Amino acid sequence: MLKLMFIDTESAWDEHLHEEYASLNRRKHKHHRMSSKRIFAAAALALCIDDDGITTIEGQHSWTEHGYGDEAAVVEALLDRLRFNPDHVVVTWGGLAADLPLLTMAAMEHDLVLPPQLRAGQRTRFGDLKPHTDFALVLKGQGRDWAHMSELALRMGLPRDLLARKSELPYPSSEADWAAARLHVQLDTILTAMVALPWLRAQGRIGGDAAAMIYQLAAWFARRSANGTEIEEPMHELRRRMVGRIERRALEAA
């Protein structure tokens, strides 16, 4: 049995931090640095895949400053979710370069303790998934080129319209913006799962049909979050495409 926790965060520049740091240098830094970013939204999606390849969606949680108050509260809620699920491998796309440094700096500032999956210097047995597995790094391997998640998602059959808004999210300024930010960070965990599960299937780590897994995620998310939003139609198209793939494979196997 494999237990996975897909996480994602959204962040924005803290202009006060940027200006304070720039004031210490003779050369004014025109470009913002990562340490001047703060997390304002986060999400976690828990999945369990048994030895027969049956995928169970255990639930999704998300947090924003709008509902929790500030960065410290959002980060603490996410870290607690991981801490309460120590048997889940944390999965990100590009998280080692993006999410983990910001989560670590936030933990340092707000006197929080990282859960075991996100701590530095962890060792794993050969062949095991790391407690925090960054699939962008896994797919890069020893090569020089990085794959963008949207590129891989297109190969998996995801509609372009579902990926069109995956660019960086600006800091929300209204109720509608905060609702969109929550949907955005939730969707990112779903998309990460949709590209990670086929990799696990290709590696022989899980059984089952990858198209069926993607369909299950799309149907679950559509019922829970996508209905009545701008991603409702792309989610419907995704389900249609996955049904087509499942039917074609069934005919080929017959």
Asked whether 117 and 133 are in contact (CB, 8 A), the reply is no
Please tell me whether residue 246 adopts helix, strand or coil conformation: helix
CB burial of residue 139 (10 Å; 0-12, 13-18, 19+): middle
Helix (H, G, I), strand (E, B) or coil at 12: strand
b/e burial code for range 197-234 (CB count within 10 A of at least 16 → b) = bbbbbeeeebebbbbbbbbbbbbbbbeebbeeeebeeb
pLDDT of residue 30: 63
pTM: 0.92
Cβ atoms of residues 149 and 187 within 8 Å: no
CB atoms within 10 A of CB 20: 11
Task: Report the domain count for the chain.
Answer: 1
Read off the tokens for 32: 């913002």
Spacing of C-alpha 180 from chain mean position: 16
Query: Count of alpha carbons within 13 Å of 11, Cβ hemisphere only?
Result: 25
Contact 190, 202 (CB under 8 A): no
Show the domain range for 81.
2-253
For the chain, 254 residues long, the average pLDDT of each consecutive 10-residue run is 96 74 65 80 96 92 91 97 96 93 96 96 80 90 78 93 78 91 95 95 91 95 85 94 92 80
What distance in Å separates the CA atoms of residue 42 and residue 36, rounded to the nearest whole number? Answer: 18
Backbone φ and ψ of 50, nearest 5°: -85, 180
d(CA 21, CA 158): 42
Query: Is-contact 193 59, C-beta < 8 A?
Result: no
Terminal Cα distance for the chain, rounded? 29
pLDDT at site 19: 67
CATH number of the domain enclosing 104: 3.30.420.10
pLDDT value at residue 28:
58
